[in-house]
Amino acid sequence: MNQLRIPTFLHDVFGEVQRVGNLLAILLFGGLLTLGLYFLFPEMTESLPVWRSALALLFMFDIFSGCVANFTASTSNFYAARKINRIVFITIHFHIVLVSLLLQTEMWHSIAVWAYTIIGAFIVNALIGNHSQRFVAGLLLSIGLSCIPLLPNIEPYMLVTCLLFMLKVLFSFSVDHYSKTINNTEEQV
């Protein structure tokens, strides 16, 4: 499949070179899920000013698209070579709280999901190069994914957004999926 050179200002999102099919899948997934939630749950933005609705939907699109983009070799390898960028990226992921604030949903739900996700992401990031990184990431993700649906009165659109936020930051992004360091370590075990 054809590969596209990514403009420098988008390297943090897609890496340096990305397959056209991957780009289409990333954008379609993010766009279709965002539109799907918007049309399935019109109450999500009904009483909000247009700017708040648009900004919340943009953040949701970013969460959904980023969830898939971070699984690509290009994005994973971009951050594997830039450890400081990875730490900055984890640190700035406050989207879920902003979505909740903009949509006027239960703030404590999103704060709890955000705190657990960021703490877990830093733990997983600290294990890069260690053969147990994927296992620990999978365990933390499984714990988080099983707890989020138990949050009382969580709106379905926030449930989906919280689940994918956790998947994006804790597992999709924080795990170095394609590193030779991890692969070599696993082959020796």
Q: What is the pLDDT of residue 2?
A: 87
Distance CA 73, CA 18 (A): 8
What residues form DSSP beta bridges with 17? Answer: 5
Q: What is the pLDDT of residue 54?
A: 97
Q: What is the pLDDT of residue 83?
A: 86
Q: Is 107 exposed, middle or buried (0-12, 13-18, 19+ CB in 10 A)?
A: exposed
Q: Are 168 and 175 in contact (CB under 8 A)?
A: no
| Alpha-carbon dihedral sign for residues 72, 73, 78, 82 | positive
Element (H, E) at 120: helix 107-126
Q: What is the pLDDT of residue 16?
A: 83
76 Cβ contact list (under 8 Å, min separation 6): 15, 70, 175, 176, 177, 178, 179
Q: What is the pLDDT of residue 80?
A: 82
Q: What is the pLDDT of residue 82?
A: 85
DSSP one-letter string for 12-69: HHH-SEEEHHHHHHHHHHHHHHHHHHHHH-GGGTTTS-HHHHHHHHHHHHHHHHHHHH
Task: Give the residues of the chain that fall short of pLDDT 50.
Answer: 181-189
What's the predicted TM-score (pTM) here? 0.90
Distance CA 133, CA 174 (A): 9
> What's the token pair of residue 99?
């979505």
Q: What is the pLDDT of residue 189?
A: 33
Q: 32-37 long-range CB contacts below 8 Å, 24 or more apart?
A: 33/60, 33/64, 33/160, 33/164, 34/60, 34/61, 34/64, 37/157, 37/160, 37/161
For 49-84, what is each residue's pLDDT tens digit?
A: 999 999 999 999 999 999 999 888 888 888 888 889
For 160-177, what is each residue's pLDDT tens digit?
A: 999 999 999 999 889 888
Q: What is the pLDDT of residue 1?
A: 57
